[in-house]
Structure 1
Amino acid sequence: METPIKEKEQFRNYDQGDITAAVKEHYRKMRSRQTYDYVQRMKAKYLTFERPMDLWEMMERLNVLVDVSDPDLNLPNIIHLLQSAEGMRADNRPDWMQLVGLIHDLGKAMYLFGSDEDGTSQAEQWGLVGDVFVVGCKLPDSCVYPEFNALNPDMQDPRYNTELGVYEAGCGLDNVHLAWGHDEYLFQVLRNHQENSIPEAGMAMIRYHSFYPWHSGGSYRALLSEKDAQYLEWIRDFNQYDLYTKSPVIPVYEELKEYYKPIAEKYLGKGPIFW
């Protein structure tokens, strides 16, 4: 894998001059508004799978979306996807993993039919992007800007403000509710897609890649199952490409599309995906 323009310790630095205020405000909104009830409402509202759209059309729609929560890259999101996939390709990773690199943030296309009120729009992204956490139990200090944890209404509710909250010990990550965003949305869209044959590892990479308080912060141990140890191994493998391929170098989408299109058809078929 080629050496990134920035050193590894320079990534995910949330105290970098001009970007700090915007990123910090994003996380203040996200932490104060993403409650257990909010997540249930978003799942009911957005997981309807009624919008047939072509994969490549959705890719191209990300050309105008800049992830406000990302302190490392101020470019349209499609650039990041291409950089991630190309990093995997350069390392001769399996074709399905290259595809996951290409599409892992595609759930951000939810902004096309999102709303400011839900935090799922281009202007208000607090329900769309950013590090996620478990709703329905105590927020850990491993969250970005942990000082915002106290702003979450659930932390004043005895049902939700304990280590286990509404969950059982060892229940496993597949049985908890994460903050609403592009990861869970894309995972559910693909799980609903009958032609999807992306391996289990790839689906876990899509679902949990933004769950930093767990895979990087070491939190939520009381909730974990044996299965989650395998998830952790997969996510850490994936995240080296999600993070360390970010650079100002812009890949040429039209040229790369010809390489990735047959791989996408192999694992997702040729028909539309219902969003």
Structure 2
Amino acid sequence: MEDVLVKEKSEFRNYDQGDITAAVKEHYRKMRTRQTYDYVQAMKKKYLTFDKPMHLWEAMEKLNALIDVSDPDLNLPNVQHLLQSAEGMRAEGRPDWMQLVGLIHDLGKAMYLWGSDEDGTSQAEQWGLVGDVFVVGCRFPDSCVYPEFNELNPDMHDERYNTELGVYEEGCGLDNLHLAWGHDEYLYQVLKNHKDNAIPEEGMVMVRYHSFYPWHTGGSYTKLLNEKDEQYKEWIKDFNQYDLYTKCPKIYDLNEMKEYYLPIAEKYLGSGPIYW
């Protein structure tokens, strides 16, 4: 895909550029203000019901109607980002399961189909759907995008939640943390609940933590991590190059891509519906 890249790597994730700045910044202001520990618990209870059957390719088609308002690098329907990521991996001969993860890693954004403005899980209000995530239940680090918004969160004025460890034990590990609610955790839990899921552990980690930039890029939360998380970071860094640097103006035809990717999807996820 080198022939369609239009930016240098250093130009990605620039949150102070052009006309998009105001919209992206407002998204993160809402996200940081409203994503509290209690909110995250409520969203898990509300959305992790696994009672809405939908085939994977139907979910892909639904992302034709969603543009991620938090993304400063791409203003295309989200399904194009998924195809760009997968095709980047395919071009470099990465394993088929990893190509599949590239293809589906943002499918949790299908939550908008049954989301609401109030929850921040709709097309209009995406602060509970997309964007870099952070840990709730402990102090927000300065490695968050727009750290000036950290103090707007009510939890940062609650002694239960505003210390370095907060509600967690030192060394508890990523898998025991509650992250800001969004498409990563949603898809991870949907896949974990799916009886035919055969995606390797590396792929499931990529799904769950790819938006957790304050950890995998910012270097925060060191006291909460354990040894296993170092392996997680290696997997995420490997995935991240395709998630980020394949973003470009190139448009793929979803129907043309189906012939190649659907058999891979059925190999690791079966041919039946997934329960969302």
Question: TM-score with structure 1 length normalisation?
Answer: 0.99
1:245 aligns with 2:246: yes
For residues 1-275 of structure 1, what are the structure 2 equivalents within 5 Å?
Answer: 2=2, 4-275=5-276
Consecutive unaligned residues of structure 2, counting only runs of 5 or more, are none
Tell me how far 1:193 sits from its aligned partner: 0.1
| Farther off after superposition, 252-261 or 35-44 | 252-261
Letter in 1 for 2:164: E
After TM superposition, the runs of 4+ consecutive aligned structure 1 residues lying more than 3 A away are: none
2:228 partner SS: helix
Tell me how far 1:25 sits from its aligned partner: 0.1
Letter in 1 for 2:64: N
Letter in 2 for 1:229: E
CA distance in 2, matches of 1:168, 1:153: 22
CA distance in 1, matches of 2:176, 2:195: 22
Tell me how far 1:254 sits from its aligned partner: 1.1
Q: Number of aligned pairs?
A: 275
CA RMSD of aligned residues (A): 0.7
Consecutive unaligned residues of structure 1, counting only runs of 5 or more, are none
Tell me how far 1:26 sits from its aligned partner: 0.1
CA distance in 2, matches of 1:176, 1:249: 37
Question: TM-score with structure 2 length normalisation?
Answer: 0.99
CA distance in 1, matches of 2:58, 2:261: 14
Percent identity over paired residues: 81
2:175 partner SS: helix
CA distance in 2, matches of 1:12, 1:152: 23
2:19 partner SS: helix
CA distance in 2, matches of 1:52, 1:213: 33
2:75 partner SS: coil
CA distance in 2, matches of 1:135, 1:262: 38
